[in-house]
Structure 1
Amino acid sequence: MSSYAERYQQAKQRAAYAKTQLGVFENRVGFDLDDFQRQACESVEAGRGVLVAAPTGAGKTIVGEFAIFLALSQGKKAFYTTPIKALSNQKYNDLVKEYGEDSVGLLTGDTSINSEAPVVVMTTEVLRNMLYAESSTLTNLAYVVMDEVHYLADRFRGAVWEEVIIHLPEHISVISLSATISNAEEFGAWLDTVRGSTDIIVSEHRPVPLWQHVLVGKRLMNLFAEETTVSQAADALSSADNEAPAVNPELLKMRTGGSRGGGRRPGGRRNNRGRNGRGPRDRRTPALKTTASGFSGSAQLPARISRPAMIETLDKNGLLPAICFIFSRAGCDGAVSQCIDADIRLTTDAQAQTIRAYIAEATASLDVRDLNVLGFYEWREGLTRGIAAHHAGLLPIFKEIVETLFSEGLIKVVFATETLALGINMPARSVVLEKLTKFNGENHVDITPGEYTQLTGRAGRRGIDIEGHAVVTWRNGMQAEQVAGLASRRTYPLNSSFRPTYNMSANLIAQFGAERTRKILESSFAQFQADKSVVGVAQRVRKNERALEGYADAMQCHLGDFTEYARIRREIKDLEKQVQKSRRKLSLSQAVASLQQLVPGDVVDIPKGKNRGYAVVLTRAESNDDPRPSILTIDAHVRRLETRDLVGPIVPVSKIKVPKKYSVKTPKERRDMASRMREAIYQGRPPRERAQNTWFDHKESAIETKLDELRHAMRTHPCHGCSEREEHARWSERWWKLERETDGLRRQISRRTNTISQVFDRITELLRSYDYVSTTAEGKLVLTSRGQSLRRVYGEKDLLTSLCLEERFLDGLDSASMASVVSALVYQGKRDENGFLSKYPRPEIGKSVTTMITLWSQLTDAEEQMKLPQTATPDLGMVWPIYKWARGDSLAKSIEGTDLAAGDFVRWVKQVIDVLDQISHVAHNDAQMRTACEAAIGKIRRGVVADQM
């Protein structure tokens, strides 16, 4: 028991702490701060920057809220930045409840509320744009909270975070909040370098323990042999023994069809609450008998569980509410439909009535004509049953309703894509992953440990659940060790995606000049990581150089310079390969060209492949890149003729007439055509002579001459007569391969050193070629009047947009046509269009698009020459939908015949509005253009789009 003096001293310390800003704040929030929260807040109060890395749901945002509290108490400003609008809206509403509407503002791409308030919530892009514009809103700014700062790894938008961190004035404290990352010290060291004193606070502790399970059929099994949480598994793996926790042996037996026994229900749920507030009992589950849905002994594993059955199993085990991640929008919507069809109902009548009332009020402004195309009625039916989907294809208001109802406990199951894991506050008791692979836009890839942690981190509601549960549904081919590895690993580093853009370069040149810009870019996290990685590469170069010395000694020849002899042999080999490659390339190009020239009625002799033999051409090739004309073979089969069927150019051996209305659907007509083809062939018309390629023949002749000279030099070289020649040659080959590898490493070091500034130099050279920058008499790089306009254009196609404006590609267009053309600079569909549409809404649109495509083609040629990433092709997939919408058509009619979801359409229209707004500001001296842009915005900011602004 402590003495009176000790108790007095403790009381005195508590009283002193209560008077500090942190003490007042802690008393205000009404709960005791965790150690990591208090440590981070103390750093903020001391005027230091902080990097707080902690698991999802650990409460790291409290540190950002303390910075806001400090700003208000000091009479200064605080900005709270987020990666997405939904999270900004959510944080804005939270802060308004805490501090009132007068003290809090909101700035996103399409929303501006109380922008001069002392506390402003905004997307990170808005803050970046403020910094470049040197906005007066930055005056008196003391704190910037960067929520979800690990988003700087995003390859499309991640650079924005680094731009903000680099450009914020030094006196502003940056509070960086991140999900758990394994290289927090590296990222923190960079922050300390560019921002000054920055403390790194890392917490691996989850306030709500997370248990891991595998759902096999209808049976829920523990992933680990012992009752082990995620934190315990990670601790075991990172301990001195470095041993991962043992996997449940029953799961290991499944892939081999071994015996099946009983298993625990979800472990560790001693006090967890089920649907009725009572947790499932911690008891053994009796062994299941062999049934259609169960297994025992060496019986076959059950089929993958259906979604309705999965919900019933979760509900039976007291694991609702749940989020089920499905990496497909269609899969999410389909899951809701399946549950409705199975008559799953997770709400009471009173809850369903409350949900209907809330939906009616929240969607009252929607046009009733749009409800069908929005899928409103099935969406509402799912919600009233306590089931919903959440993905980017949904209307924003639909997503917000789902989020609100879920947070209030009225929605029990949400089928979601991974976008839900970005920080929106929608925790659940359990999280289900249907599979451990996803489509990344190009291939199906395994999810990473970091993605697994981010997704499952939503399980367990702080203050509601005493534990959370992560469930992976079993699939054929799955390995329990794979799941265990994802659940226990902490190797998810934060890697920079930073690269200079045209807009960024223009803004930096305007503000700082070229020299200081290079220094700024070299201070990026991308360069910081690149420089660090060079150390290891340099060590490999030194090791290789020592080995090369040994190889050189081993290939020494007493008769002469074997290095020179080996070089001759290598040159001969390379030239022989070059001849073969040239012949193959010529053969392919001639084959493609000859296929493009074939016309209906040409009879050809196909040299190889399944179409080998005579055939008649029925239709011309449709594509120039991959020509595949339709043919009828001699045995009356309709096929496609491809380049792989040829060994060079193909020329007609004869010709017959193919009627314009000829149909290949009936066997008789095909046989008649084949018969006419045989008659034409038997007339004995000689095939045309192969076209001679004199250029290639001349080139090949020159190479053969060079080869003859080298072969003579090799045979007459002293080393050619050495008895150990081939032994020396083997060492020479090893030397050459290692030297080539080492040269690659040297180039790698050269590329990584000052890589970012080198890209900037190439960008400025390209901008110079377009007269966007020039050099003064003093040798300084400055923006021209053309370059100044680029400073106000943001987006993936920033330079192309600026070039199009310089060509006045929007002149003469009405409002609807203007919005339609601008959509091609914004939209990026899943399927690539071929540059032009067969028909445009108006002829003027086609002319504007032609201008755009021409400028894009010239730009990408220049980018290729400068070795810069190429600007994406303008996509025409929104030209017709935007035009229809702008002229007043309904949503259903606007997206008719496309694969656009309603939510996607609204999102793209909002981005078109943003670009039109940028253009209006760029054209500030052109009243006519500004007025036209405003009119175009007015045409498309209506109906469901205006409701979501």
Structure 2
Amino acid sequence: MTFTTHLDEFRAGLKFPLDDFQIQGCTAVENDRGVLVCAPTGAGKTIVGEFAVSLALQRGTKCFYTTPIKALSNQKYHDLVKAHGEDAVGLLTGDVSINHGADIIVMTTEVLRNMIYAQSDTLERLSYVVMDEIHFLSDKSRGAVWEEVILGLHDSVQVIGLSATVSNSEEFGRWLATVRGDTEVIVTDHRPVPLDQWMMVGKRVYPLFEPGTDGEVNRALEAHIERIDGEELQRGRDDFARRQSFRSRAHGEDFSRSGRPRPQDRFRPLGRPEVLDVLRGMDMLPSITFIFSRLGCDSALAQCLRSRLVLTSQQEAEEIAAIVDAGVSEIPEEDLKVLGFRQWKAALCRGFAAHHAGMLPAFRHIVEELFTKGLVRAVFATETLALGINMPARSVILEKLVKYDGEGHVDLTPGQYTQLTGRAGRRGIDVIGNAVVQWALAMDPARVAGLASTRTYPLNSTFAPGYNMSVNLLKTIGFEPAHRLLEKSFAQFQADGSVVGEVREIERAEEAERNTEAELIQALSAEGIPSENPIEEFLSYIQLRRDLSTEEKRAKRFAIEQREKEVVAVLSKLQLGDVIAMPGKKRPILAVVITPASNARDPKPLIVMESGWSGRVDPQAFALAPQVVGSMRVPRGVIANPRRASRQVKEMFARNSFPRPKKLRDTARNRPTEKVKALRTALKDHPAHYWPQVEDLARIGERLMRERDKVAQLQSKVSAATDTLGREFDRILELLSEMDYVEFDESNTPRITEEGERLALIHNESDLLVAQCLRRGIWDNLDPAELAGVVSMCTFENRRESRGEAEGATDAMVDAMNHTIRIWEQLASDEQRHRLPITRYPEAGFALAIHQWTAGAPLGYCMAAANECGAELTPGDFVRQARQVIDLLEQVRKTAYNDETARHARQAIDAIRRGVVAIGT
């Protein structure tokens, strides 16, 4: 058969027809255009990436397929090997290297970033880079790597971005087109397997939406929930009544027979086994239940194990057991006991499992294999399962709509809800997918409907320069291009986009400024003003008027403040019987103090006026400070009840003669300051002061000044928003220069030093701390196990906050750990001085455990050591942390100043890579 295009040949080899968006994406790739495909989970967007792989092989070029996590890289590697054979495909994930010279290489994004900075020969003939889950660039901790890759790839490389549906896809596509060239944005909301939304209330499962409506909540569901809420409210009232009924309880009254609901009848969501049983009866299995904690997943599994739930046949259980035994054959028996293997296998054989990052990788892979084969029917998983791993189910179950984000419990966003429920519905297997939310008290179905209806979320950059990035940019492209590259980042693009409104305002303000300036020139010309530069001369006059007005207002405010202070001072000192003269409309009014003020800061004395009015007065009532003009004896009756004694007070004033001032003195009069006098003189001396029609001209001049001010303010605001990355880059270079990783030449251009070359090879969150420790030699003279333990301080991050004392196995190890902390303290101080983010504190919680493992101790012993140090590790955590130590030890081996340290790093790597750490990568 003859094909016109490679796409025709590619389509002929598929077992299913392509959707329109897939054809559009593949066509763009074949036409040598970049492409961004935004589609729901399970829509089949990876087809576009797989076509790029096929096209590269057909054209004799290379294609890299990048993913955010190793599990997804492993899965994609096996998929491509099935399609193209082992010789054509390689895998690079930091700790795994398979066929690295292949034309098709699957890798984590960090590996590609490191290749770009190292200017690796592997990049030769590279024509396509597929970036799966490209929306991961919004990840707080690792998202910046995606932008480093996109910006660092050669212009000849086409980027194929595969993303979940994001609300700002056009913005992201415009940025890709700006930095990568011609890029087509393809967005679809189509799901090949439609998704039904359900809500489970007890054992009843309701459609979330009213049939035949556009997003209206199911009325039967709302009615049922309202009835439950009403019953719960009544139960609350009954409980209160019961607590108040001592007498009834003392007489043994049986409330359970009184017709009122009993406590055991209260609404409670079903347990996990019951939920699965209900869904099995509705033919909704297999299912994934998302639980936002590892402990929650393990607890759900234990709950099912304690029940009588069995989801498999005897034949299926035997097949599962065989697959499980083969998958763990290389794990020592003593380690299997520590891993709780017997219970885990029992759960699998009954058809249910947990899946989370805390599990041993080998165990996770077995769960994925069994679920994909349809042998496991229920999985309890954390949200990491939703990130690209090909484990679709018929149904997804959500028990809660809140999750812990590392700082507190927050509501799920529409994007997170869409990502999780997107796992429901298996293409080619299911006709429909199901998203099931378990209702609980106080859960609002309308809010769930809102989450289900909003299918997009914004993609926001987390890109920022760091130490390793900065020296690598200097090394590879130089200072000025590095500045330009940072300014081309999506973070910068979004900062610019956020001030688009201000930029448009600038344009409008500049146009208004030009029009007003032309109006002023015309008015000056009409008056025949003789001047070489009448505009600027007149504006200098307007500025004098502005300055004078400002100073006069300031002087007036000062006088008012002084007057208020004087009023407070006088009122606070008044005593019983003092007669005061207060401001009046025509003349001062006399009054006698009955009760002095009790608060000197806010004095409010009680007075009786000569008219007989009585009451408290506060400072705000006085325009001028009152004056004491005499005193009189006040009878007790007046003091006790001044209102009833008003006639008596009038008579007292009539009998006594007090000097009444014609007007009160204003000791804080608004007198011109020296600055006001100087400005008034300058104003009178200015030539424009005597121009004809000066007031009419001044109105135009004032308007022109306001418009110029507005332009300047907006430009300042935009400048502040768009230059942050460049300024941070400069501050990083200043600090690196102080530490001799960077030096400035005669033209003040920075370049990296020999120490900077080593820093460029350290790809770690604490890169500068690692470099400083190696440079100062504090990690020298350690044996391999000690070195592994100390190095772990720069890779380990405890799940709970802890800064205990460094605990090591030997004195040399403890000394090195303490020195590492001291270097961090110095570094943190320098970073604070340069207004840079503080490097993460070096945590010692994993040091003793990895030391013991490197020294040959069994898994159980090492896990116990970790937990004693407060690390709270699961087996999966242990393996992941051990592999991170291996990764950093590889970098230590390449960058150590001491040959013995480099050799010990190599020995430590070999010692760590054994048993569970070496299996299931």
- Aligned position for 2:863: 895
Q: Does 1:859 find its partner at 2:822?
A: no
Residue 896 of structure 1 aligns to a residue whose secondary structure is helix
Measured in 2, the distance between the counterparts of 1:174 and 1:154 equals: 20
Q: Does 1:405 find its partner at 2:370?
A: yes
Q: Name the amino acid aligned to 1:799.
A: L
Measured in 1, the distance between the counterparts of 2:129 and 2:382 equals: 30
Which residue of the other structure, out of 224, 230, 250, is the alignment partner of 2:220? 250
User: Would the alpha carbon gap of residues 850 and 543 (structure 1) be closer, same or farther in structure 2, given more than 3 Å must change?
Assistant: farther
For residues 188-203 of structure 1, what are the structure 2 equivalents within 5 Å? 188-203=173-188
Measured in 1, the distance between the counterparts of 2:444 and 2:742 equals: 57
Q: Name the amino acid aligned to 2:340.
A: G
Measured in 1, the distance between the counterparts of 2:507 and 2:465 equals: 32
Which residue of the other structure, out of 768, 779, 782, is the alignment partner of 2:751? 782
Residue 155 of structure 2 aligns to a residue whose secondary structure is coil
- Aligned position for 1:379: 344
User: Would the alpha carbon gap of residues 227 and 424 (structure 1) be closer, same or farther in structure 2, given more than 3 Å must change?
Assistant: farther
Q: Name the amino acid aligned to 1:905.
A: F
- Aligned position for 1:440: 405
Shift of 1:258: 7.3
Q: Whose radius of gyration is greater, 1 or 2?
A: 2
Residue 871 of structure 1 aligns to a residue whose secondary structure is coil
For residues 117-156 of structure 1, what are the structure 2 equivalents within 5 Å? 117-156=102-141
- Aligned position for 2:460: 495
For residues 11-30 of structure 1, what are the structure 2 equivalents within 5 Å? 18-30=3-15
Q: Does 1:914 find its partner at 2:884?
A: no
State whether residues 254 and 301 of structure 1, in contact with CA within 8 Å, keep that contact through their aligned partners in structure 2: no
- Aligned position for 2:692: none
Q: Does 1:455 find its partner at 2:413?
A: no
TM-score by length of 1: 0.72
C-alpha distance after superposition, 1:495-528 (max 9, x if no partner): 1111111100010001111111000110000000
Shift of 1:928: 1.7
- Aligned position for 2:697: none
C-alpha distance after superposition, 1:740-794 (max 9, x if no partner): x999998764432122111111111111111110111233210011111110001
Shift of 1:424: 0.3
- Aligned position for 2:720: 751
State whether residues 128 and 157 of structure 2, in contact with CA within 8 Å, keep that contact through their aligned partners in structure 1: yes
Shift of 1:571: 13
Which residue of the other structure, out of 359, 364, 375, is the alignment partner of 2:329? 364
Shift of 1:491: 4.0
State whether residues 563 and 668 of structure 2, in contact with CA within 8 Å, keep that contact through their aligned partners in structure 1: no
Measured in 1, the distance between the counterparts of 2:442 and 2:672 equals: 58
Which residue of the other structure, out of 102, 114, 125, is the alignment partner of 2:99? 114
User: Would the alpha carbon gap of residues 324 and 556 (structure 1) be closer, same or farther in structure 2, given more than 3 Å must change?
Assistant: same
Measured in 2, the distance between the counterparts of 1:168 and 1:560 equals: 59
User: Would the alpha carbon gap of residues 742 and 439 (structure 1) be closer, same or farther in structure 2, given more than 3 Å must change?
Assistant: farther
For residues 235-314 of structure 1, what are the structure 2 equivalents within 5 Å? 245-254=215-224, 256-257=226-227, 302-314=267-279
Residue 779 of structure 1 aligns to a residue whose secondary structure is coil
Q: Does 1:536 find its partner at 2:501?
A: yes
Q: Does 1:562 find its partner at 2:530?
A: no
Shift of 1:810: 1.1
Q: Name the amino acid aligned to 1:125.
A: E
- Aligned position for 1:670: none
Which residue of the other structure, out of 276, 286, 304, is the alignment partner of 1:339? 304
Measured in 2, the distance between the counterparts of 1:895 and 1:744 equals: 59
Residue 310 of structure 2 aligns to a residue whose secondary structure is coil
- Aligned position for 2:906: 934
C-alpha distance after superposition, 1:623-645 (max 9, x if no partner): xxxxxxxxxxxxxxxxxxxxxxx
Q: Name the amino acid aligned to 2:759.
A: L
Shift of 1:850: 1.7
Q: Name the amino acid aligned to 1:785.
A: E
- Aligned position for 1:946: 918
User: Would the alpha carbon gap of residues 212 and 556 (structure 1) be closer, same or farther in structure 2, given more than 3 Å must change?
Assistant: farther
Q: Name the amino acid aligned to 1:200.
A: V
C-alpha distance after superposition, 1:159-189 (max 9, x if no partner): 1111111111111111110011111110000
Shift of 1:375: 1.8
C-alpha distance after superposition, 1:339-374 (max 9, x if no partner): 110121000000000000111111000011111221
- Aligned position for 2:195: 210
Shift of 1:537: 5.0
State whether residues 832 and 875 of structure 1, in contact with CA within 8 Å, keep that contact through their aligned partners in structure 2: no
State whether residues 559 and 669 of structure 2, in contact with CA within 8 Å, keep that contact through their aligned partners in structure 1: no
- Aligned position for 1:848: 816
Residue 19 of structure 1 aligns to a residue whose secondary structure is coil
Residue 398 of structure 1 aligns to a residue whose secondary structure is helix
- Aligned position for 1:872: 840
Shift of 1:851: 1.4
How many residues align structurally? 717
For residues 5-84 of structure 1, what are the structure 2 equivalents within 5 Å? 18-84=3-69
Residue 13 of structure 2 aligns to a residue whose secondary structure is helix
User: Would the alpha carbon gap of residues 873 and 24 (structure 1) be closer, same or farther in structure 2, given more than 3 Å must change?
Assistant: same
- Aligned position for 1:684: none
Structure 1 unpaired stretches of 5+:
1-14, 229-235, 237-244, 261-290, 547-551, 574-712, 721-740
User: Would the alpha carbon gap of residues 257 and 72 (structure 1) be closer, same or farther in structure 2, given more than 3 Å must change?
Assistant: same
Shift of 1:895: 1.3
Measured in 2, the distance between the counterparts of 1:391 and 1:69 equals: 33
Measured in 2, the distance between the counterparts of 1:503 and 1:865 equals: 20
State whether residues 286 and 377 of structure 2, in contact with CA within 8 Å, keep that contact through their aligned partners in structure 1: yes
Q: Name the amino acid aligned to 1:855.
A: I
State whether residues 257 and 300 of structure 1, in contact with CA within 8 Å, keep that contact through their aligned partners in structure 2: no
Shift of 1:256: 3.6
State whether residues 213 and 222 of structure 1, in contact with CA within 8 Å, keep that contact through their aligned partners in structure 2: yes
- Aligned position for 1:327: 292
Residue 66 of structure 2 aligns to a residue whose secondary structure is strand
User: Would the alpha carbon gap of residues 91 and 570 (structure 1) be closer, same or farther in structure 2, given more than 3 Å must change?
Assistant: farther
State whether residues 365 and 920 of structure 2, in contact with CA within 8 Å, keep that contact through their aligned partners in structure 1: no
Structure 2 unpaired stretches of 5+:
231-255, 513-542, 565-665, 674-709
Measured in 1, the distance between the counterparts of 2:713 and 2:203 equals: 54
Measured in 1, the distance between the counterparts of 2:170 and 2:819 equals: 50
Residue 864 of structure 2 aligns to a residue whose secondary structure is coil
State whether residues 823 and 876 of structure 1, in contact with CA within 8 Å, keep that contact through their aligned partners in structure 2: yes
Residue 51 of structure 1 aligns to a residue whose secondary structure is strand
Shift of 1:569: 8.6
Residue 27 of structure 2 aligns to a residue whose secondary structure is helix
User: Would the alpha carbon gap of residues 751 and 854 (structure 1) be closer, same or farther in structure 2, given more than 3 Å must change?
Assistant: farther
State whether residues 555 and 670 of structure 2, in contact with CA within 8 Å, keep that contact through their aligned partners in structure 1: no
Measured in 2, the distance between the counterparts of 1:565 and 1:830 equals: 60
User: Would the alpha carbon gap of residues 180 and 572 (structure 1) be closer, same or farther in structure 2, given more than 3 Å must change?
Assistant: farther
State whether residues 229 and 441 of structure 2, in contact with CA within 8 Å, keep that contact through their aligned partners in structure 1: no
Measured in 2, the distance between the counterparts of 1:145 and 1:462 equals: 22
Measured in 1, the distance between the counterparts of 2:826 and 2:229 equals: 67
User: Would the alpha carbon gap of residues 560 and 330 (structure 1) be closer, same or farther in structure 2, given more than 3 Å must change?
Assistant: closer
Q: Name the amino acid aligned to 1:379.
A: W
Measured in 1, the distance between the counterparts of 2:40 and 2:194 equals: 11
Q: Name the amino acid aligned to 2:204.
A: R
Q: Does 1:160 find its partner at 2:145?
A: yes
Measured in 1, the distance between the counterparts of 2:150 and 2:863 equals: 40
Residue 338 of structure 2 aligns to a residue whose secondary structure is coil
Q: Does 1:802 find its partner at 2:775?
A: no
Shift of 1:834: 2.3
C-alpha distance after superposition, 1:176-229 (max 9, x if no partner): 10011111110000000000000011111011000000010111011101157x
Shift of 1:718: 4.8
Shift of 1:849: 1.3
Q: Kindly, what percent of the aligned residue pairs are identical?
A: 49
Residue 435 of structure 1 aligns to a residue whose secondary structure is coil
Residue 425 of structure 2 aligns to a residue whose secondary structure is coil
